[in-house]
Chain A
Amino acid sequence: MNKLLVIIGREYSSRVKTKFFLISTILMPLFIAMTGVLPGLLFSMKTGGATRLAVYDETGKLYEPVRQSLTAGQGRDGRGGAKAGGVPMRGPAGADRDEQMREMGKALGARYEVEGVQADGRARAEILEALNNRVRKDEIDGYVVLPSDIFESNRAEYYSSNTGDFITSEQIESGVSRGVTEQRMRDANIDGERVRELSKRVEVEAQKVREGGVERDTGGSFGLAMGIGIFIYAALLLYGQVILQSVVEEKTTRISEVLFSSVNSFQLMLGKLIGVSLVGLTQIAIWGTFLGVFAAYGAAMLAASGVDFALPAVPVSFFIYAALFFVVGFLMYATIFVLVGAMVTSEKEAGQMAMPVIFMSVISVYLIFPVIRSPNSSFAFWISIAPFFSPVTMLVRIVTETPPFWQIALSLAVGVATTLGLTWVAARVYRTGMLMYGKSATIPEMLRWVRRA
């Protein structure tokens, strides 16, 4: 027992003291934050000033409505460009598609400077050529042609040096549509304002029914389920590799032979599993704290900026379940990695042998989607009981729609039983495998070791 503690101590302290631990502890949350926030941020960034747009209106009555709909909202609230950091969130109540576009445009900081083009008796081709030249000289960013038959054909043209900027294209399209629609209404003597008012969208607010009552869900559950699934997956993968590496090191450097003459192989294996797991838990506790603070801060920020977003209320029991499933899942995968490490003779082979295991954990991440969509289906039930997927899938079920307690208990029991079984097998393979040099063991060979040991 005392020796087990010595082993755990070394496995733990030799890792926690490394630069790798320090760096990964700090970088991982940054990395998560970056992959989560940065693309949205970069994507929504339109550098430079307003988009300079010329409108050539052949109908003679569309210029004004189109200009208005493109520039609407700009300056009205005075924060068109200033809110560049705001990722397009679900807008406040009553947003139809066009309005949504406009909201998004505001959030993306898109602004337009619109000017009309006078025909002055010139031919169409001549006008277009002049506009093309202006685009080439960078006097304008693009121009829109509203042909005379636009009310019948429903077609307009947009010319620009950069048609790849699909956000701008979309905005122009919706701006033009809106302008045309309004003009049509006016032509038909319909009050546009009134129509807009009457066709306001109805928002369906998701309310989650829980044991204790009802609460609003603004999409946080999904994010939380996804986040936890991916978090567990990343931790399994990262620490699985750490264990694999450390087993292979002891095997290739023949340290295991020295160690085996001091302690029995089972103690050694267990010490390694527990030691490395504790390193993992330490790191995850640090990350968890980061994440919790980050989430709370982020939610507060969003709330302060007027976006309707509430952190899903998570009962304390969830954290207990999360810890339990995490530990079980972690040990389950770690044991497999020990098994793999004892069978191979080099890091390279270890990588190959570990592929199926990694593949399995990737599948469990993909399984999150069907489970979130129908957490009570029999598919979700079985997949959340199955040992190698349950740490991720059962947790997702608990977050989305907590299953009856017996299902959680069953899933946990199956996980624990599998882990114990694997430990039993791994101990046998470990003792023989760690002393075999020269070539990697095959699966039949491994099974023979298990039978014989």
Chain B
Amino acid sequence: MSDTSTPALRLENVSKSFDEFAAVSGLSLTVRPGRVYGLLGPNGAGKTTTIRMIVNIIAPDSGKIELFGRPMGEDLMDKIGYLPEERGLYKKMRVGDQLRYFARLKGMTTRAADAAADRWLSRLKLSEWKLKKTDELSKGMQQKVQFVATVMHDPDLLILDEVFSGLDPVNRELMIEVLQEIKDEGRTIIFSTHQMEQAERLCDDICLINKSRKILEGSLREVKQGFGRRAIALRAEGVDGVLDDAALVAGVKPYGDFQEVLLAEGADAQELLRRLVAKGARVSRFESVEPSLHDIFIRQVGEAE
């Protein structure tokens, strides 16, 4: 399953437009097996269209989509588990019947489907709701039921669109735990969101798209390092004047009890520290920080505006 040589998913120069509107233009990306891959972007960037093409709901106008080295087609649909952003469950159907139906549509036998439903419902602490109708469940519970429907056929590729929406903090942690287990089994997860904090916490690799095009792609580490922005978390007293030097400091953002100091192009952090000490400032925190995904997102997407 986790043959590292063939990518779990590969998109090559994929485009899709609706009438005059280009939803996805020339998108190429590679998802390595066993990784958590974040498909990030603002609303309307083309995430949902991309996902719908991956799961074979709509066909691309041009380009190639390969799943585990084979061109995407109907025969591969059972290998994917897809949790759409907009949830869909039959309101008047019992949770258990509903899960059985979805699993059987993924090619499971009734017996296997029932066993998997029991296992997953208990894992997500929903066992006692099995005989209830969907419309008796809270939104968060429905969300978990939908998640069970997505994973119960043990898909090799899991595509989760905004998986945490509607979950309280306790269930959010439970979900993260479950996702970690799935990852440890060697399955691949594509995680689509516009909430950067979640992506930062879960993703190994990310791809940022905006206005139908890919802006950047790579491992979270590479992206952060490659992002040419160095910042210092600084807490100090008596820094007057030092931070105003444009040759050294590009900008200052206040954060609670510290400031984030963006270094100017070519400036050295050591030089800043030396100048502060020379000025007689009392430094209680001086820490080189990576830009957060949030910052990268804002900067990249904001620049495009």
Contact between A254 and B87, CB atoms less than 8 A apart = yes
Q: A6-B105, A10-B101, A435-B52 are in contact. Are A261 and B88 (CB under 8 A)?
A: no
B289 / chain A contacts, CB cutoff of 8 Å? none
B164 located at the interface, meaning its Cβ lies under 8 Å from any Cβ of chain A in the complex: no
Q: CB-CB < 8 A to A253: which residues of B?
A: 88-91
Interface residue ranges of A223-272 to B (CB < 8 Å): 249-250, 253-264
A83 at interface, CB cutoff 8 A: no
Q: A260 to chain B: which residues have CB within 8 Å?
A: 55, 57
Mark each residue of chain A from 327 to 342: 1 if its CB lies under 8 Å from any CB of chain B, else 0.
0000000000000000
Does B80 reach chain A (CB closer than 8 Å)? yes
Cβ of A10: which chain B residues have Cβ within 8 Å of it?
A: 101
Knowing A3-B105, A260-B57, A435-B58, say if A254 contacts B52 (CB, 8 Å): no
Q: Mark A74-89, 1 if CB is under 8 A from B, else 0.
A: 0000000000000000
Count of B interface residues, CB-CB < 8 Å: 29
B contact patch SS: loop
User: Is A135 among interface residues, defined by CB-CB distance under 8 A?
Assistant: no
Tell me the complex Cα distance, A255–B56, Å: 16
> What per-residue 1/0 map shows which CB atoms of B4-26 lie under 8 Å from chain A?
00000000000000010000000
Contact of A250 with B88 at beta-carbon distance under 8 Å, contacts A10-B101, A258-B102, A261-B80 already known? yes
Alpha-carbon distance between A6 and B82 when the two chains are bound, in angstroms: 19
> Given contacts A253-B91, A256-B88, are A261 and B77 in contact (CB under 8 A)?
yes
List CB contacts (< 8 Å) of B91-131 with chain A: 91-93, 97, 101-102, 104-107
A376 interfacial contact with B, CB 8 Å = no
In the bound assembly, the distance between CA atoms of A10 and B77 in angstroms comes to 20
Please indicate the chain B residues that have their CB under 8 angstroms from the CB of A261 in the complex: 55-57, 77, 80, 82, 84
How far is B182's CA from A380's CA once the two chains are assembled, in angstroms? 67
Query: B74 an interface residue at 8 Å Cβ cutoff?
Result: yes
Report the bound CA distance from A437 to B105 in whole Å.
Answer: 24
Contacts of B104 in A (CB 8 A): 3, 6
Interface string of A1-12 (1 = CB under 8 A from B): 011001100100
**B149 proximal to A (CB < 8 A):** yes
| A14, CB-defined interface residue at 8 Å | yes
Q: B168 on the interface (CB 8 Å rule)?
A: no
CB distance from A326 to the nearest CB of B (A): 28
Judge if B86 is at the interface, Cβ distance under 8 Å.
yes
Residues of A close to B57: CB separation below 8 A = 257, 260-261, 435
CB distance from B183 to the nearest CB of A (A): 21
A6 CA to B109 CA, complexed, in Å: 10
Other A-B pairs beyond A249-B91, A263-B105, 18, CB < 8 Å? A3-B104, A3-B107, A6-B105, A7-B105, A14-B97, A253-B89, A253-B90, A254-B88, A255-B88, A258-B88, A258-B149, A260-B55, A261-B56, A261-B57, A263-B77, A435-B52, A435-B58, A448-B19
